[in-house]
Structure 1
Amino acid sequence: MASTSSFAFSSNTTYDVFLSFRGIETRHNFTSHLHAALCRKNITTFIDDILERGEGISPALMKAIEESKNSVVIFSENYASSRWCLDELVKIIDCEKKLGRKVLPIFYRVNPSDVRKQTGKFGEAFGKVKENSKHSLDGVEKWRTALMEAGNLSGWVSSDSR
Protein backbone atom coordinates (compact mmCIF):
# COMPACT_ATOMS: atom_id res chain seq x y z
CA MET A 1 0.00 0.00 0.00
CA ALA A 2 2.93 2.27 -0.50
CA SER A 3 1.35 4.02 -3.45
CA THR A 4 -2.09 5.48 -3.93
CA SER A 5 -2.49 3.81 -7.33
CA SER A 6 -4.17 0.78 -5.78
CA PHE A 7 -7.04 2.89 -4.44
CA ALA A 8 -10.26 3.60 -6.31
CA PHE A 9 -10.93 7.30 -6.72
CA SER A 10 -14.26 8.93 -7.56
CA SER A 11 -15.65 12.42 -7.17
CA ASN A 12 -18.65 11.93 -4.82
CA THR A 13 -16.75 11.05 -1.68
CA THR A 14 -15.25 12.72 1.37
CA TYR A 15 -12.61 10.14 2.35
CA ASP A 16 -10.11 8.09 0.39
CA VAL A 17 -10.11 5.34 3.03
CA PHE A 18 -12.38 4.15 5.82
CA LEU A 19 -10.57 2.05 8.45
CA SER A 20 -12.61 -0.73 10.05
CA PHE A 21 -10.95 -2.47 12.98
CA ARG A 22 -11.49 -3.90 16.47
CA GLY A 23 -10.18 -1.03 18.58
CA ILE A 24 -9.05 -2.86 21.69
CA GLU A 25 -6.87 -5.20 19.64
CA THR A 26 -5.23 -3.00 17.04
CA ARG A 27 -5.91 0.70 17.67
CA HIS A 28 -2.62 1.45 19.46
CA ASN A 29 -0.37 -0.71 17.30
CA PHE A 30 -1.07 -1.90 13.77
CA THR A 31 -3.99 0.44 13.03
CA SER A 32 -2.26 3.55 14.36
CA HIS A 33 0.84 2.80 12.24
CA LEU A 34 -1.29 2.20 9.14
CA HIS A 35 -3.28 5.39 9.77
CA ALA A 36 -0.08 7.41 10.16
CA ALA A 37 1.38 5.95 6.96
CA LEU A 38 -1.78 6.79 4.99
CA CYS A 39 -1.76 10.35 6.36
CA ARG A 40 1.91 10.76 5.40
CA LYS A 41 0.88 9.92 1.82
CA ASN A 42 -1.89 12.57 2.02
CA ILE A 43 -4.59 9.90 1.82
CA THR A 44 -7.69 11.27 3.55
CA THR A 45 -8.58 8.60 6.06
CA PHE A 46 -11.60 8.17 8.33
CA ILE A 47 -10.79 6.64 11.68
CA ASP A 48 -13.41 6.60 14.43
CA ASP A 49 -11.46 8.87 16.77
CA ILE A 50 -12.37 11.88 14.60
CA LEU A 51 -16.07 11.70 15.48
CA GLU A 52 -17.42 14.84 17.11
CA ARG A 53 -18.63 14.63 20.71
CA GLY A 54 -22.34 14.03 20.99
CA GLU A 55 -22.57 12.64 17.46
CA GLY A 56 -24.37 9.31 17.20
CA ILE A 57 -21.76 6.68 16.44
CA SER A 58 -23.75 4.38 14.18
CA PRO A 59 -25.17 6.97 11.77
CA ALA A 60 -21.83 8.77 11.60
CA LEU A 61 -19.94 5.58 10.84
CA MET A 62 -22.45 4.46 8.21
CA LYS A 63 -22.24 7.88 6.53
CA ALA A 64 -18.44 7.79 6.59
CA ILE A 65 -18.47 4.34 4.95
CA GLU A 66 -20.77 5.62 2.19
CA GLU A 67 -18.52 8.65 1.70
CA SER A 68 -15.31 6.62 1.45
CA LYS A 69 -13.78 5.50 -1.83
CA ASN A 70 -12.14 2.49 -0.19
CA SER A 71 -12.50 0.54 3.01
CA VAL A 72 -9.57 -1.18 4.66
CA VAL A 73 -10.89 -3.88 6.97
CA ILE A 74 -8.39 -5.09 9.56
CA PHE A 75 -9.59 -8.54 10.56
CA SER A 76 -8.10 -9.48 13.93
CA GLU A 77 -8.84 -12.41 16.21
CA ASN A 78 -11.74 -10.68 17.99
CA TYR A 79 -13.05 -8.50 15.14
CA ALA A 80 -16.15 -10.72 14.89
CA SER A 81 -16.89 -10.30 18.62
CA SER A 82 -18.07 -6.75 17.96
CA ARG A 83 -21.57 -6.10 16.62
CA TRP A 84 -20.33 -2.64 15.58
CA CYS A 85 -17.56 -4.17 13.47
CA LEU A 86 -19.96 -6.66 11.92
CA ASP A 87 -22.52 -3.97 11.12
CA GLU A 88 -19.75 -1.85 9.58
CA LEU A 89 -18.66 -4.82 7.48
CA VAL A 90 -22.19 -5.42 6.19
CA LYS A 91 -22.37 -1.74 5.15
CA ILE A 92 -18.89 -1.89 3.58
CA ILE A 93 -19.81 -4.94 1.49
CA ASP A 94 -23.12 -3.28 0.54
CA CYS A 95 -21.25 -0.18 -0.68
CA GLU A 96 -18.88 -2.38 -2.64
CA LYS A 97 -21.81 -3.93 -4.48
CA LYS A 98 -24.04 -0.88 -4.91
CA LEU A 99 -21.53 1.96 -5.24
CA GLY A 100 -18.48 0.16 -6.63
CA ARG A 101 -16.36 0.93 -3.58
CA LYS A 102 -13.16 -1.04 -3.10
CA VAL A 103 -12.67 -3.30 -0.08
CA LEU A 104 -9.11 -4.11 0.98
CA PRO A 105 -8.89 -6.73 3.73
CA ILE A 106 -5.93 -7.14 6.03
CA PHE A 107 -5.86 -10.42 7.93
CA TYR A 108 -3.98 -9.41 11.07
CA ARG A 109 -2.85 -12.56 12.84
CA VAL A 110 -5.85 -14.48 11.45
CA ASN A 111 -6.20 -16.84 8.52
CA PRO A 112 -8.46 -15.64 5.68
CA SER A 113 -10.18 -19.03 5.67
CA ASP A 114 -11.10 -18.55 9.36
CA VAL A 115 -12.81 -15.29 8.40
CA ARG A 116 -14.49 -16.85 5.37
CA LYS A 117 -15.72 -19.94 7.25
CA GLN A 118 -15.97 -18.43 10.76
CA THR A 119 -13.67 -21.08 12.22
CA GLY A 120 -10.80 -21.12 14.70
CA LYS A 121 -10.53 -18.39 17.34
CA PHE A 122 -12.12 -15.96 14.90
CA GLY A 123 -15.13 -18.28 14.66
CA GLU A 124 -15.28 -18.61 18.45
CA ALA A 125 -15.52 -14.82 18.73
CA PHE A 126 -18.30 -14.80 16.13
CA GLY A 127 -20.12 -17.56 18.01
CA LYS A 128 -20.12 -15.51 21.20
CA VAL A 129 -21.57 -12.43 19.53
CA LYS A 130 -24.25 -14.59 17.88
CA GLU A 131 -25.23 -16.05 21.27
CA ASN A 132 -25.40 -12.63 22.91
CA SER A 133 -27.03 -10.93 19.95
CA LYS A 134 -30.55 -9.64 19.96
CA HIS A 135 -30.37 -9.52 16.17
CA SER A 136 -32.76 -11.56 14.12
CA LEU A 137 -31.58 -14.64 12.27
CA ASP A 138 -31.61 -12.45 9.17
CA GLY A 139 -29.14 -10.04 10.81
CA VAL A 140 -26.81 -12.85 11.84
CA GLU A 141 -27.00 -14.27 8.31
CA LYS A 142 -26.02 -10.84 6.90
CA TRP A 143 -22.96 -10.87 9.17
CA ARG A 144 -22.06 -14.40 8.09
CA THR A 145 -22.44 -13.55 4.40
CA ALA A 146 -20.37 -10.36 4.74
CA LEU A 147 -17.60 -12.29 6.52
CA MET A 148 -17.63 -14.97 3.81
CA GLU A 149 -17.50 -12.41 1.00
CA ALA A 150 -14.75 -10.36 2.66
CA GLY A 151 -12.76 -13.51 3.42
CA ASN A 152 -12.87 -14.37 -0.28
CA LEU A 153 -11.32 -11.04 -1.29
CA SER A 154 -7.67 -10.79 -2.12
CA GLY A 155 -5.91 -9.03 0.70
CA TRP A 156 -2.84 -8.96 2.89
CA VAL A 157 -2.02 -11.56 5.51
CA SER A 158 0.02 -10.29 8.45
CA SER A 159 1.31 -12.71 11.01
CA ASP A 160 3.04 -9.95 12.96
CA SER A 161 2.67 -6.21 13.45
CA ARG A 162 5.26 -5.35 10.81
Structure 2
Amino acid sequence: MASSTTPNGIYDVFLSFRGTDLQNNFIGHLYNALDQNGVFTFIDSEELRKGDQISQALMKAIEESCIAIIVFSDDYASSRWCLEELAKIMECKEQKDLIVLLVFYKVDPREVRGGRESYGRALAKHEFKFGKDSKGSEEMEESSF
Protein backbone atom coordinates (compact mmCIF):
# COMPACT_ATOMS: atom_id res chain seq x y z
CA MET A 1 0.00 0.00 0.00
CA ALA A 2 1.14 3.52 -0.60
CA SER A 3 0.13 6.55 1.36
CA SER A 4 -1.54 9.33 -0.51
CA THR A 5 0.89 11.20 -2.70
CA THR A 6 1.71 14.84 -2.73
CA PRO A 7 -0.29 16.96 -5.19
CA ASN A 8 2.36 16.61 -7.90
CA GLY A 9 2.54 12.81 -7.45
CA ILE A 10 5.99 12.65 -5.88
CA TYR A 11 6.73 10.49 -2.87
CA ASP A 12 8.95 11.76 -0.10
CA VAL A 13 10.26 8.27 0.70
CA PHE A 14 10.46 4.89 -1.02
CA LEU A 15 10.93 1.93 1.37
CA SER A 16 12.87 -1.07 0.03
CA PHE A 17 12.81 -4.19 2.21
CA ARG A 18 12.31 -7.95 2.14
CA GLY A 19 9.76 -10.01 3.99
CA THR A 20 6.35 -9.81 5.56
CA ASP A 21 7.79 -10.45 9.03
CA LEU A 22 9.78 -7.24 8.65
CA GLN A 23 6.77 -5.42 7.19
CA ASN A 24 4.59 -6.41 10.13
CA ASN A 25 7.13 -5.18 12.67
CA PHE A 26 9.99 -2.77 11.99
CA ILE A 27 8.81 -1.52 8.59
CA GLY A 28 5.25 -1.15 9.80
CA HIS A 29 6.40 1.03 12.69
CA LEU A 30 8.70 3.06 10.45
CA TYR A 31 5.97 3.55 7.85
CA ASN A 32 3.42 4.61 10.49
CA ALA A 33 5.87 7.07 12.07
CA LEU A 34 6.66 8.62 8.70
CA ASP A 35 2.99 8.77 7.71
CA GLN A 36 1.91 10.31 11.04
CA ASN A 37 4.49 13.04 10.51
CA GLY A 38 3.24 13.91 7.04
CA VAL A 39 5.98 12.10 5.13
CA PHE A 40 4.41 10.62 1.99
CA THR A 41 5.84 7.14 1.77
CA PHE A 42 5.66 4.39 -0.84
CA ILE A 43 5.64 0.90 0.62
CA ASP A 44 5.55 -2.11 -1.66
CA SER A 45 2.89 -4.75 -1.34
CA GLU A 46 2.99 -8.18 -2.89
CA GLU A 47 0.00 -7.37 -5.12
CA LEU A 48 2.10 -4.96 -7.17
CA ARG A 49 4.37 -7.75 -8.42
CA LYS A 50 3.24 -9.33 -11.65
CA GLY A 51 5.32 -11.24 -14.15
CA ASP A 52 9.04 -11.87 -14.05
CA GLN A 53 10.19 -8.25 -13.98
CA ILE A 54 9.83 -5.56 -11.39
CA SER A 55 6.62 -3.70 -12.06
CA GLN A 56 6.53 -0.34 -13.75
CA ALA A 57 4.66 1.02 -10.72
CA LEU A 58 7.68 0.25 -8.52
CA MET A 59 10.13 1.77 -10.99
CA LYS A 60 8.01 4.91 -11.26
CA ALA A 61 7.67 5.16 -7.47
CA ILE A 62 11.47 4.98 -7.11
CA GLU A 63 11.96 7.62 -9.81
CA GLU A 64 9.38 9.91 -8.18
CA SER A 65 10.80 9.64 -4.67
CA CYS A 66 13.09 12.14 -2.97
CA ILE A 67 14.58 9.61 -0.53
CA ALA A 68 15.00 5.84 -0.65
CA ILE A 69 15.41 3.87 2.55
CA ILE A 70 16.92 0.44 1.96
CA VAL A 71 16.45 -1.93 4.88
CA PHE A 72 19.05 -4.66 4.52
CA SER A 73 17.98 -7.77 6.40
CA ASP A 74 19.35 -11.29 6.39
CA ASP A 75 17.43 -12.36 3.28
CA TYR A 76 17.22 -9.04 1.36
CA ALA A 77 19.67 -10.18 -1.32
CA SER A 78 17.84 -13.47 -1.84
CA SER A 79 15.05 -11.57 -3.59
CA ARG A 80 15.42 -10.76 -7.26
CA TRP A 81 12.84 -8.01 -6.73
CA CYS A 82 14.94 -6.39 -4.01
CA LEU A 83 18.06 -6.54 -6.16
CA GLU A 84 16.21 -4.93 -9.06
CA GLU A 85 14.88 -2.23 -6.72
CA LEU A 86 18.41 -1.70 -5.45
CA ALA A 87 19.74 -1.34 -8.99
CA LYS A 88 17.05 1.23 -9.83
CA ILE A 89 17.65 3.12 -6.58
CA MET A 90 21.39 3.33 -7.25
CA GLU A 91 20.71 4.46 -10.83
CA CYS A 92 18.44 7.24 -9.54
CA LYS A 93 21.04 8.15 -6.91
CA GLU A 94 23.54 8.79 -9.70
CA GLN A 95 21.22 10.36 -12.26
CA LYS A 96 18.61 12.19 -10.19
CA ASP A 97 20.39 12.84 -6.89
CA LEU A 98 18.08 10.50 -5.00
CA ILE A 99 19.07 10.48 -1.33
CA VAL A 100 19.71 6.92 -0.17
CA LEU A 101 19.60 5.93 3.49
CA LEU A 102 20.71 2.48 4.60
CA VAL A 103 19.35 0.54 7.54
CA PHE A 104 21.06 -2.70 8.55
CA TYR A 105 18.38 -4.74 10.32
CA LYS A 106 19.89 -7.64 12.24
CA VAL A 107 22.68 -7.96 9.67
CA ASP A 108 26.30 -6.83 9.90
CA PRO A 109 27.04 -3.99 7.43
CA ARG A 110 30.34 -5.73 6.58
CA GLU A 111 28.36 -8.75 5.40
CA VAL A 112 26.42 -6.59 2.95
CA ARG A 113 29.39 -4.53 1.76
CA GLY A 114 31.67 -7.51 1.31
CA GLY A 115 29.11 -9.96 -0.04
CA ARG A 116 29.75 -12.41 2.78
CA GLU A 117 27.48 -14.94 4.45
CA SER A 118 23.87 -14.86 3.20
CA TYR A 119 24.63 -11.97 0.83
CA GLY A 120 27.48 -13.83 -0.83
CA ARG A 121 25.32 -16.93 -1.28
CA ALA A 122 22.37 -14.94 -2.61
CA LEU A 123 24.48 -12.95 -5.07
CA ALA A 124 26.22 -16.10 -6.31
CA LYS A 125 22.82 -17.73 -6.83
CA HIS A 126 21.54 -14.59 -8.59
CA GLU A 127 24.59 -14.50 -10.89
CA PHE A 128 24.25 -18.22 -11.68
CA LYS A 129 20.55 -17.87 -12.49
CA PHE A 130 20.60 -14.52 -14.31
CA GLY A 131 24.21 -14.08 -15.42
CA LYS A 132 27.23 -12.21 -14.15
CA ASP A 133 26.12 -8.96 -15.80
CA SER A 134 22.70 -8.92 -14.15
CA LYS A 135 21.72 -5.60 -12.62
CA GLY A 136 21.36 -6.51 -8.95
CA SER A 137 24.68 -8.29 -8.56
CA GLU A 138 26.52 -5.51 -10.39
CA GLU A 139 24.99 -2.87 -8.15
CA MET A 140 25.92 -4.74 -4.96
CA GLU A 141 29.52 -5.09 -6.14
CA GLU A 142 29.91 -1.51 -7.37
CA SER A 143 27.84 0.40 -4.86
CA SER A 144 29.54 2.71 -2.45
CA PHE A 145 27.63 2.29 0.77
Normalising by the smaller structure, the TM-score range is: 0.7 to 0.9
Structure 1 residues 144 and 116: CA distance shift in structure 2, 3 A: farther
Distance 1:44 1:69 in 2: 10
Checking the alignment, whether the CA contact within 8 Å between 2:16 and 2:85 is kept in structure 1 is yes
2:88 to 84, 91, 94: 91
Q: Partner of 1:124 in structure 2?
A: 121
Distance 1:25 1:128 in 2: 23
Distance 2:10 2:97 in 1: 15
Structure 1 residues 29 and 138: CA distance shift in structure 2, 3 A: same
Q: Partner of 1:138 in structure 2?
A: 133
Q: Gaps (5+ residues) in structure 1?
A: 1-11, 154-162
Q: Partner of 1:31 in structure 2?
A: 27
Q: Partner of 2:60 in structure 1?
A: 63
1:57 Cα deviation from its structure 2 partner: 5.6
Is the counterpart of residue 40 in structure 1 residue 33 in structure 2? no
1:101 to 85, 98, 102: 98
Structure 1 residues 41 and 51: CA distance shift in structure 2, 3 A: farther
1:120 Cα deviation from its structure 2 partner: 1.5
Distance 2:88 2:76 in 1: 15
Is the counterpart of residue 114 in structure 1 residue 114 in structure 2? no
Shifted more, 74-83 versus 43-52: the winner is: 43-52
Measured against aligned partners, the alpha-carbon deviations of 1:27-84 in whole angstroms (never above 9, x if no partner) come to: 1111111101111111000001397798x96111000000000100000000000000
Query: Scaled by the length of structure 1, what TM-score is found?
Result: 0.74
Distance 1:16 1:76 in 2: 22
Is the counterpart of residue 147 in structure 1 residue 111 in structure 2? no
Q: Partner of 2:10 in structure 1?
A: 14
Q: Gaps (5+ residues) in structure 2?
A: 1-7
| Identical columns (%) | 45
- How many residues align? The count is 138
Checking the alignment, whether the CA contact within 8 Å between 1:19 and 1:73 is kept in structure 2 is yes
Q: CA RMSD in A?
A: 2.7
